[in-house]
Amino acid sequence: RQSMDGAAPEAALVHIRVKHQKRELSVSLEPNATLQDLKCALQALTNVSVKRQKLLGIPARTEEAAQVGSLKLEAKLLMLMGTPDAVAESFAVGEERAKEAAKDVVDDLALQPDEVLPLFERSEYVAKIERRIREYAPTKLAEPRRGKRLLVLDVDYTLFDHRSPAENALELRRPYLLEFLEAAYEHYDIAIWSATSMKWIEMKLRELGVLGSDRFELLALFCHGAMITVQTDKYGVIDVKPLAVVWGHYPTYSASNTLMFDDLSRNFLMNPQSGLKIRPCRNMTLASARESDRELLRLGRYLRHISIVADFRCLNHARWEAFVEERRRASSAEPSPRQQ
């Protein structure tokens, strides 16, 4: 039935609840409206463009042309993830642009030392770092623990699969993430540094079960605002994560006791000796990908082995896998108590 003015009656509409940041939104659509129509309505309410939207709570691989009346959404609270256009455009390199641009940027592991080292010696970049230390305020969650090293972790493609569609964030969480963080926490204070806004970092970490866990405690969160822009003749203009910003806020840490994990090694261009490039976390909705991803298990062993090293600057993190294998062989070659 239709009302006298031709509009669909209230009872015929599908009422959909969507949580975005701290707001709960309500969208009412006709049953034959499509998923694309829902996203367009959300764009009008949130200024998050359709191409930036990730809706958690909708079955993976749902077609854009699927009718909302067939998706049984009224009993659910959907989660909208995505950066509003105005915020994204204010970033020198936003979350999406940084990841998409990565394939066009030559990996800085190929840089020669004489090409890398001058960057953190150049006065204009030193001045930028000093300004970040003065003006940028990270989200501090705990105090440094005496005698602990510092582990700085990226989020997208490091802790979870940023791209694949899923009904909830837990489906995209990297295998063994919580176990890895719990084990690392024994020897390391843990900070998060992601090239996105603080609101989205906090939301993602809560959804992943990282923020607020009773198994470990995070030290601090750093967002895109702590990054600086550098320029090289060969690689152009890029944003990087200088660890000196972290050390400026936490003087107990330095290059001697800090390690950063990131799927983009260009992010630690200012501190190449303190960075370890992690394999990106992808396709977590596929059982085969989840079963084969053992990256955090193996990196956990590396962190445990090097936790007793007095100065991390003597390590070559690019050889971390060989390091772990050497320790495994050395351990297996040691005689057991019965043999001694």
Q: Are residues 26 and 77 in the same domain?
A: yes
Shared-domain flag, residues 209 and 281: yes
On whether both 80 and 153 belong to a single domain, the answer is no
* 325-334: average pLDDT: 82
Residue with tokens 């599908």: 14
Claim to verify: residue 60 and residue 97 sit in the same structural domain: no
Per residue in 36-94, pLDDT (tens digit) is: 889 988 888 888 888 888 888 888 778 888 999 899 898 888 888 877 765 544 443 44
- 50 and 37 belong to one structural domain: yes
pTM, two decimals, is 0.70
pLDDT tens column, 125-156: 999 999 999 999 999 999 999 999 999 999 99
208: phi then psi, degrees, rounded to nearest 5: -80, -5
- Whether residues 18 and 148 share a domain: the answer is no
At 256 the pLDDT is: 95
Q: Specify the CATH number for the domain of residue 36.
A: 3.10.20.90
- Which of 106-110, 121-125, 167-171, 260-264 is least confident? 106-110
Evaluate whether 134 touches 128 at the Cβ level (below 8 Å): no
- Strand, coil or helix: 251: coil
Kindly state whether residue 252 falls inside one of the protein's structural domains: yes
User: DSSP assignment of 81-110, as one string?
Assistant: E---HHHHHHSSS-HHHHHHHGGGS--GGG
The boundaries of the domain holding residue 209 are 91-318
Domain for residue 243, yes or no? Answer: yes
Q: Is the pLDDT of residue 107 over 80?
A: no
Mark whether 241 and 264 lie in a shared domain. Answer: yes
Are residues 46 and 84 in contact, defined by beta-carbon separation less than 8 angstroms?
yes
pLDDT value at position 225?
97
The domain that holds 210 is classified in CATH as 3.40.50.1000
pLDDT tens profile 109-128: 444 443 444 576 788 899 99
Percent of the chain topping pLDDT 90: 56
According to the model, what pLDDT value does residue 140 have?
Answer: 97
Write out the DSSP string of 41-58. Answer: HHHHHH---GGG-EEETS
Indicate the residue among 87, 116, 133 that finishes a domain. Answer: 87
Question: For the chain, what is the domain count?
Answer: 2
Give the pLDDT score at 233. Answer: 65
Reported residue count of the chain is 340
Lowest mean pLDDT among 101-105, 168-172, 266-270: 101-105
> Is 241 within 8 Å of 266 (Cβ atoms)?
no
144 and 161 co-located in one domain: yes
Rounded to the nearest integer, the mean pLDDT of the chain is 85
Domain endpoint, select from 40, 71, 87:
87
d(CA 173, CA 41): 28
Residue 245 and residue 298 in one domain: yes
